[in-house]
Amino acid sequence: MNEIRATGWADLQEKLFEGAWMPELHLFRSQYAFRGLSQAGYLLETSLYRLCGRETNLERHLLRNFRKYAHRDVVERDSVWHWLAVAQHHGLPTRLLDWTFSPFVAMHFATNDIDKFDVDGAIWAVNYAQSHQHLPTALKEMLCEEGSDVFTVEMLSQVSGTLTEFDTLSEDNFVVFFEPPSLDDRIVNQIALFSVLSDPQAIFDDWLGKHPEVFRKIIVPAELKWEIRDKLDQANVNERVLFPGLDGLSRWMKRRYQPRTPSGRG
């Protein structure tokens, strides 16, 4: 069963770090990407899908106009993958999904909304190395050549210069995990990476349903959220660190100093 329920703080960490031991390296090196959600029922929908559903013809118009009006020096190179990363980072609807290498960052996003403390949250854990076993040959060869488990924007640009080229690398839908450029401290501090499907009309849940061996969904019970939140704050995993600047500081202080009522909500 891919959906498992954490029973406590220690149990949650055990479940998140499961499979991290790499015997060939004699090191703990997890190959999982994590995504925390404040509600367990939320789907893994991209912002592009939420904007226009299955009618994804808007994608090229959004990206074209973003490139037109954005300053040219906001990307290291004029490639579609750099522009997609920048656009996602600044809130433009794209086919990308945000993930992190850090289980603790994912725990933060599962518990950062006090208004959702009365409902279960979830942390998705997807093995990107196993997911990449389903890649088309050209992308597999690129990973092998670089000796890497995930892509960079430069690596993707060498294989496909446009999204149309990317989408037609295989008749079967596939997923790629790639690290964005270190655009600012937010990406660095969140240890961020993105996923992208070759079908912009697809929902990641559907792809995972066909490949259950690559993921697990860990339910964060509502009754555990306050304990997790307090311990993360003490461990300095909070908005002030993950969103450097005055906006993140203000968000952290607003949540930190919101009174807790007897019912458990702010």
pLDDT at 262: 53
Which residues, including other chains, have CB under 8 Å from residue 81's CB and lie 6 or more apart?
A: 153, 156, 157, 178
The stretches in the chain having pLDDT less than 50 are none
What is the C-alpha separation between 257 and 266, in angstroms, rounded? 9
Q: How far apart are the first and last CA of the chain?
A: 34
Q: Which of 70, 30, 21, 44 is nearest to 175 (CA)?
A: 44
The number of beta carbons lying within 10 Å of the beta carbon of residue 73 is 6
pLDDT at 263: 52
pLDDT at 261: 65
**What six digits make up the tokens of 57?**
């013809």
Predicted confidence (pLDDT) per residue in 174-208, tens digit: 999 999 988 888 999 999 999 999 998 889 999 99
Predicted confidence (pLDDT) per residue in 21-30, tens digit: 989 888 999 9
pLDDT at 72: 65
Q: pTM value? A: 0.93
- Cβ burial, residue 55 (10 Å; 0-12/13-18/19+): exposed
What is the C-alpha separation between 122 and 110, in angstroms, rounded? 6
pLDDT at 258: 84
Q: What string of DSSP letters covers 188-247? A: HHTTEEEEEES-TT--HHHHHHH-GGGEEEEEE-GGGHHHHHHHHHHTT-SHHHHSTTHH
**What six digits make up the tokens of 167?**
């989408």
pLDDT at 1: 62
